[in-house]
């Protein structure tokens, strides 16, 4: 495995771990604030849009590069 492959896989695994941790933080925020079902849904939708934006940006960059 050369350095380029290592960097690619490290970034993929690191970003995945950070997204998972952010999901845990959103869940904990909803639980600690006693947001209820609707509030929890809104937390995940609104804060999850940032993750979706990152994924869409990555896909668009790959499409433009090819």
- Domain layout of the chain by residue ranges: 3-65
pLDDT category at 9 given cuts 50, 70, 90 is: very high
Does residue 50 contact residue 26 with C-beta atoms inside 8 Å? no
Under 8 Å between Cβ of 48 and 62 = no
Compute the radius of gyration of the chain from its Cα atoms.
16
For residue 24, pLDDT beyond 90: yes
> 0.95 exceeded by the pTM?
no
pLDDT at res. 38: 94
Give residue 19's pLDDT: 87
Q: What is the mean pLDDT of residues 7-24?
A: 91
What integer pLDDT is reported at residue 66 of this predicted model? 86
């Amino acid at each position: 495995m050369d350095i380029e492959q290592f960097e690619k896989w490290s970034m993929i695994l690191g970003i995945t771990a950070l997204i998972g941790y952010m999901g845990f933080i959103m869940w904990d925020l909803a639980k600690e604030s006693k947001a209820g079902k609707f509030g929890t849904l809104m937390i995940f939708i609104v804060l999850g849009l940032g993750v979706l934006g990152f994924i869409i940006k990555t896909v668009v960059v790959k499409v433009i590069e090819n």
